Structure 1
Amino acid sequence: MMAKVLNSGELMDRIIRALDEKTPLSVVSVGSTESYVMAQYTVMSEKRFMRHREAITTNSGRVDRGFTFPNVKLRDEMVVAVKKADIIGYNICLRDIYAGKMVARVFRAYGIKPSFVFDTLIRRVIPFNQKVKFKNMLRNRRIVLIGSNASKVKQALERRWGKRFPFKIVACIPMRSYDEMEKVKSELDGTEFDLALITAGVNAVILASYIADRLGKVAFDLGQGMNSLMTKKVLETGFVRRVGLQKLMKM
């Protein structure tokens, strides 16, 4: 059976329904970095992935991704998490370039057959093109924010909507490294919440599935969409420009 492709409105509907019905839901994203982590020693040999720009950029420290290649433990945890995920985002519009091709290869290698998928880039525009539904997602919820910018996102959300409708941010959990995984899980275990919004790179995939599977809550790997909440504008990277911002806004 083919996976159902959700647009941004349909994605938000499923998140809101899970929150209203108090059922677990994990929404994750498998981008180029995540797919190359999962490809280690299975789809690609060590020689090949260590020479690839994903590994070179990650290990150089020019981009702080919170892990280094090779990392088999991270790979194995990600594979388990993606298999458990309820809804998976990936580069659908860019599936014919490396960002999308590796995801397809990884999914085939591990027998991952998601029921629901979405284009991962729509996370950047969801706070804008689904503003009403985004607010309904937050309304009357106890929210956990996870990521290196969690405190700044809290300030932005409370400043933007805090006086217009009720929601409560019960925890801001900073996360910069895969090495912090068990500490973050432990903090989540001791927190009462309804919704987790996460921007933590590859770690977000593992955390989102953990939150749904072990804690029975809703987790949304919002990624760069969290930056959109702070800046009130979409970060237009090369991928966004390649697809087109106006096209994303309509998806």
Structure 2
Amino acid sequence: MPNLLTRGQTYARIRYAMDHKQPFSLVRIGDGENICLAQSSVWSIKQVLQEPWAVMANRGEKGVTLPSLGLRNQMVTEMKRATVVGVLSPSDTLIRAPRRLKRPLTNKVFAHFRLSPLLTCNACINRYAPRDEAFWRMLKGRRILIISKHANNMKNILEKRGLNVVGVIPFTHYKQIGQTLDKVKIIRHSFDLVLISTGVNAVILAPRIARMFRKVALDFGQWHKNI
């Protein structure tokens, strides 16, 4: 895919957006996102539901319940609006999933939905970033909101780094997207950046928050596990 940004280039764009109060969203496409996008597009629902990831989702472990074409369609819509889309390297070894669920499936769903992001980065940026001092410097002096079921844990990590977390919004399931956006609206003037750790739901939340409230919204997954 063209226009693959380095981590440094991605940080620079995030920093510029915060400095100039411009909307910016980063979403990441991994195996779970691919499986959700594959529903009744490049795969049958039966095939999707047989995947271990889907089985875990329907046990309440992934923040979504499948099948859900509404989820799929909203993901497609918001991916088209995202500033940067993270995709896995064709040779990725970080994500513990069969290769067929990674970049090969991304290529199939992107072709099906005619998705061609203008800017991409490595979808594993959230795994590398916590080890980059440049990442922590970028967050210094910013007012940070966290959306996640792990929000309080993440808040503690950031505050130990001397960062300013101004709010947390717990999130556990796709059905909470509407009420989460309502909560963000209420506090929209109190934060500069939102870190979203909500599984595949972040693909919907990040672009919506960026667009609706002119904020920087990052799908940063379980980055706290990489510290």
TM-score (normalised: structure 1): 0.82
Partners of 1:170 and 1:80 lie apart in 2 by 29
Deviation at 1:127, TM superposition (A): 1.6
- 1:111 aligned residue: 114
Aligned position for 1:181: 177
Aligned 1:148-187 pairs, distance under 5 A: 148-159=149-160, 161-162=161-162, 167-187=163-183
Residue 78 of structure 2 corresponds to residue 77 of structure 1: no
The residue type paired with residue 87 of structure 1 is V
For residues 60 and 181 of structure 1, what CA distance do their matches in structure 2 show? 19
Counterpart of 1:4 in structure 2 is 3
Q: Supply the distance in 2 between the matched residues of 1:226 and 1:109 (Cα, whole angstroms).
A: 33
Matches within 5 A, 1:83-94: 83-94=80-91
Q: Is the 8 A contact 1:194 1:217 kept in 2?
A: yes
Normalising by structure 2, report the TM-score: 0.91
Distance 2:224 2:184 in 1: 19
Could you tell me how far 1:136 is from its partner in structure 2?
A: 2.8
Task: Give the percent of matched residue pairs that are identical in Structure 1 and Structure 2.
Answer: 34
Say whether the 8 Å CA contact 1:93–1:119 is kept in structure 2: no
Q: Which amino acid is 1:41 matched to?
A: S
**After alignment, is 87-96 or 133-142 more displaced?**
87-96
* One-letter identity of the residue aligned with 2:6: N
In the alignment, is the contact (CA less than 8 A) between 1:199 and 1:226 conserved in 2? no
Q: 1:123 aligned to 2:126? A: yes
The within-5 A match list for 1:233-244 is none
Aligned to 1:47: 46
Q: Which residue of 1 aligns with 2:218?
A: 220
Instruction: Please give the secondary structure, in 1, of the residue aligned with 2:210.
Output: helix
What amino acid is the match of 2:175?
D
1:147 offset after TM fit, Å? 0.4
Alignment partner of 1:197 is 2:195: yes
2:34 is matched with which residue? 35
Q: Which residue of 1 aligns with 2:57?
A: 58
Question: Contact between 2:24 and 2:215, CA under 8 Å: does it hold in 1?
Answer: yes
Instruction: Provide runs of 4+ in structure 1 moved above 6 Å.
Output: none
Q: Extract unaligned runs of 5+ from structure 2.
A: 93-98
Displacement of 1:125: 1.5
**Cα displacement (A) at 1:86:** 0.8
The letter for the 2-side match of 1:215 is F
Cα drift, residue 98 of structure 1:
2.6
How far the C-alpha of 1:42 sits from its partner, in A, is 1.3
* Alpha-carbon shift at residue 49 of structure 1 (Å): 1.6
What is the root-mean-square deviation in Å for CA atoms of aligned residues? Answer: 1.6
Q: Tell me the secondary structure at the aligned position of residue 124 of structure 2.
A: helix
Question: Equivalents in 2 of 1:158, 1:24: separation in Å?
Answer: 25
